[in-house]
Structure 1
């Protein structure tokens, strides 16, 4: 017979096994009731409606003077190799014949030992004097025999010999005279003189060095003016009126330093001629600009050195009845956004530039609809018809190129 304690343990086990499923069922019911309650979602606040805002500029027809920019290098218009014309030892080199030194036309730059040439000249003088004396004797003999033949004192053959002797003496005098002139020229050539006002580029000779005829002594160049060979593309030529024949007016050019763009110095120049052929590779035409007094000896300007890269700004034609759009307001080279004044709505459009430079994109005035402003504020999204808010305190007439100078002749496109 089981004891009372065993019976109690069995009863507890039965109860425990019965309560565990009940507990699981109760927990599931509680979770179902808890989760089945509908959660009240908070309504999001309405997003604040944003309005596009932009600065605008008025677009007004104007005249736009074109300035064509191109790059080139300054070069001398006359650069020669100074050479010896006679042989000998160099006895003197002028301080003006140093690299970079200035010299004037006629300055003696190099001297070659003249003693041999002085001796040759002295000999030539003596020979000339002897030939003149022989000619005088021949003339006297001829005259004497001409008088004697009248008295039949001499034969005709003797007169002929006297005349031939006189003619030979005259030829000897001419030959001696030519020889003297040659020796004097050689003696003069021992002093190498500057052929023009200029500067020394290179020096190849020194004191005591032997020089032969045609030995290069150095390289020199003229300083009265310099030249700049400006490449002009086919598109740029449409907006320029360049001199083609003698008598055509020169075209004004302003040169700036291409190495140090921060240098504000400019040098005036003028295009005086154009080359008659196009470049074989680029098909560019080259215009020759002249720069007077490139080293500033008279003007006081900083020197414009040979070989210096420059940026040339060439006066072109004046475009009439056009609008100069700020380049910053033009996107993708040909896209602009206008604002209709009536309703202040966006009007994006594509333009066809007539001309463009670093500051402006120029279009014909007829390409811009009346009653519009130009949007100058960058906007990522510009759908047509969108209402925009104009920033009134920034609205101002659009900046255009400076007007033509009264002194400059205005030229219009064809």
Structure 2
């Protein structure tokens, strides 16, 4: 019992000491201070809206094709006795150059016979004219009151015989022209400056009338069919169906293994009807001297090449040019107002491609657009402007663009500001 009392007294003593220490600490604690949270504005870079005139470029793609393409056929039958040294697939041939000759001996014989027939008809006609003159003198010696029918009079004066001789001469001359033409057709020439695409005949081969000899295509002018969707037509000044007014300059280019090559072209015409399957209107561009025959310093553009095209279009005034990455879903931009408060702004943009957007409405001159990507929850928050750059200088210098592409790839030039529209 004594030990239990001792333990109880010790426990009470320890409890009392702990209570006294706790009371002492409570009485000596410092007074509580309320701390207010400190707000730091978000630091942003802004672009000051400057309205510009923007020339729109529509981007398209197509394959280079010839302006003219012909299948040469033999017009007479015979054996090929001679071919040109340029009568090879892929060779250039000049306009009027002889490609091959067909054996002309049978046609030379026919020509001689036709010439002989003409001479014989001329002789017959001369004889009939002489007889007609003699008959006319005899007719004048007959009594004036002789009763004869008009038919008998014409027969006496040999008019039917004279008309027959004249008709025979005309027929002989027609045969002569035909024989001469058939002889000329034994020589097959290039109808224009061309490249031989395919051969269907060779030296020593017998060909008949209508036999394919070769396929050629012209090299003085080439064309590219460029599909333009309906939604892009208002960006261009297209020529009419009959051509004319094709002043739009087109930059054709290829990008093979990082090597970009350019060729100038002009918009010549539109095909006038929409393609039923793709619902596009084809515009036709023309390239002068595609094989650089007259300009050897230029790079040749071979037919069949797949090319990209930047078509120069209309100018749109009052456009604000911004980096594409600042545009958010729903055509929304962050705009910093005069109190440095962040505001959501819905804008209208031209439907273009490339790394820039072209705002046509929704921004006023001098308004500040945030170039810093921000969380949507910050709408209405105060921000601190770090740097401020006019949009026209931003466009020229390419500041704040995350990945600036070359003008050849995006269709954006800086001479005036240009928008590239991709179908």
Say whether the fold is shared (TM-score over 0.5). Answer: yes
Instruction: Tell me, yes or no, if the aligned pair for 2:241 and 2:271 is still in contact at 8 Å.
Output: no
Shift of 1:390: 4.2
Q: Indicate conservation of the 8 Å contact 1:70/1:312, yes or no.
A: yes
Q: Contact (CA 8 Å) 2:252, 2:264: kept in 1 or not?
A: no
Instruction: Confirm whether residue 116 of structure 1 aligns to residue 106 of structure 2.
Output: yes
Contact 1:114/1:187 (CA < 8 Å) preserved in 2? yes
Q: 1:150 to 1:241 in 2, by over 3 A?
A: closer
Show the 5 A alignment for 1:198-347. 198-244=194-240, 249-258=245-254, 260=256, 262-299=258-295, 300-332=297-329, 334-340=331-337, 342-343=339-340, 345-347=341-343
Deviates more, 1:156-165 or 1:203-212: 156-165
Give the secondary-structure state (helix, strand or coil) at the position aligned to 1:55: strand
Alignment root-mean-square deviation, CA: 3.3
- Alpha-carbon distance between aligned partners in 2 of 1:178 and 1:65, rounded to the nearest angstrom: 63
Find out whether 1:76 has 2:66 as its counterpart. Answer: yes
Q: Is the 8 A contact 1:142 1:159 kept in 2?
A: no
Q: CA deviation at 1:301?
A: 1.9
Distance 1:333 1:208 in 2: 73
Q: 1:384 aligns with which of 359, 379, 387?
A: 379
- The within-5 A match list for 1:156-171 is 160=156, 162-171=158-167
TM norm structure 2: 0.75
User: By how many angstroms is 1:370 displaced?
Assistant: 6.5
Distance 1:332 1:119, change over 3 A: same
Structure 2 residues not aligned, in runs of 5+: 1-10, 16-36, 143-147, 396-411, 419-423
- Aligned 1:367-382 pairs, distance under 5 A: 367-368=362-363, 372-380=367-375, 382=377
Which whole-Å CA distance do the structure 2 matches of 1:59 and 1:105 have between them? 59
Deviations 1:71-98 (A, max 9, x none): 1222212111111111111111212322
Question: Residue 333 of structure 1: CA displacement?
Answer: 6.5
Equivalent residue in structure 2 for 1:397, among 390, 394, 397 = 390
Give me the whole-angstrom Cα distance separating, in 2, the residues matched to 1:403 and 1:256. 18
Shift in Å at residue 375 of structure 1? Answer: 2.5
Query: Which is higher, the Rg of structure 1 or of structure 2?
Result: 1
Per-residue Cα deviation, 1:257-296 (whole angstroms, up to 9, x for no partner)? 3452733322221112222211112222222222111222
Query: Residue 94 of structure 1 is aligned with which of 84, 96, 99?
Result: 84
Is the contact between residue 55 and residue 416 of structure 2 (CA under 8 Å) also seen in structure 1? Answer: no
Instruction: Give the 3-state SS of the residue equivalent to 1:251 in structure 2.
Output: coil
How many residues are treated as equivalent by the alignment?
A: 359
**What is the SS of the residue equivalent to 1:356?**
coil
- Tell me which moved more, 396-405 or 230-239: 396-405
Does the 8 Å contact 2:275/2:281 carry over to 1?
yes
